[in-house]
Amino acid sequence: MWSSVGLSVINVVWSSLALCFLVAFCAHKVSRLLPGIFDTCPAYVLFQDLIRYGKTKQSLKRDEWLRVFDVPKRWFWHFYAVSVGWNGLLLVLYLSFIFQHQSYPLWLSDFLDILTGAHSSDSQVPQLSTVLVQLLLWVHSLRRLLECLFVSVFSDGAMHLVQYMFGLGYYIMLGLTILCCDRMEKERSSLLSQLDWLLVAGFLLFIWASWLQHQSMVLLARLRTGKSGTVETLTHRVPKGGWFELVSCPHYFAELLIYISLSFVFRGLSFTWWLVVLYVLFNQALAGQLCHDLYISKYKSYPRHRRAFIPFVL
């Protein structure tokens, strides 16, 4: 039986985000079938400005006033720095709850009450899945932070200020969502007895998906660096090698797999986390489709068998 099923604030938030990105994805696909019709429409240009970033934004014809809201794409590392700090704090607070039986700070407990509609006394048993998901999210954020700082080679690409603010709030909400899943979990067994094959499978999938994403980021970086590792160019080139032979954006596919793996760590029982996975699916599908469309339009010899981000599917 799924836990956390119901009309709670946290479920409404993630289902709304998933729906918004699904609509955005469908709207973009429709606009591709009607080229030139909406290009001069201010609402369409604003829509494209809000969903695009980096290389996919550079070809967008925008008024100068829209460029006022641009911030550097290289600021992506801010998202992961916030996540490392914030989700590290939440992990420490949860470990204190487990081993020292310390309650959450009042501000955090009250906020979780609002998000879940469940009082803290409804679930007092520590969850192994919660600890592991928190730890894996922190590891994921730390890896992405290090990749942004020491692996990726950013050009002068930009993202919208709204995207930047959303990214900062995203990882804050993500950490709170894990605690919401814990708050609504009804498992009453001890920590060790909660260990099962699905949790282990989720952990192994997380390791593999993280490796896939890291390999993809390294291959992207090598498009701009020489054998010595020094940056030689900031131009965009056709990615090759690894899973780039199957999809245009394997790092987006790996991101989706990482979130699915965390759902397995929750033993597939958290309805709330499946809503998060649904949001990530539509979010990455949109980003992947934008990159895929750019590659096809820019490079005449681009391999036509490649999909956008899910091999053989999308």
**pTM of the prediction?**
0.94
Would residue 26 count as lying in a domain?
yes
Question: Is 1 inside a domain boundary?
Answer: no
**Is 4 inside any structural domain?**
no
At 92 the pLDDT is 97
Is 239 a domain residue? yes
pLDDT for position 122: 44
The residue range of the domain holding 163 is 9-298
Domain assignment of residue 250, yes or no: yes
Cβ-based neighbours of 305, under 8 Å, separated by 6 or more: none
Residue 209 in contact with residue 254, Cβ under 8 Å?
yes
Please check whether residue 200 lies inside any domain of the structure: yes
d(CA 258, CA 163): 22
Domain count, the chain: 1
Q: What pLDDT does residue 295 have?
A: 94
Query: Does 15 map to a domain?
Result: yes
pLDDT score of 186: 63
CA 14 – CA 277 distance, rounded (Å): 9
Could you report the average pLDDT of every consecutive run of 10 residues in the chain (314 residues)? 70 97 94 74 90 90 91 96 98 91 91 87 71 97 97 92 97 97 73 81 98 97 84 86 96 98 93 97 97 93 94 92
Give domain status of residue 277, yes or no: yes
Q: In the block, which residue shows the tokens 């469908």?
A: 26
Cα–Cα distances (Å) from 143 to 135, 136, 161, 165, 254, in that order, read: 12, 10, 24, 21, 14
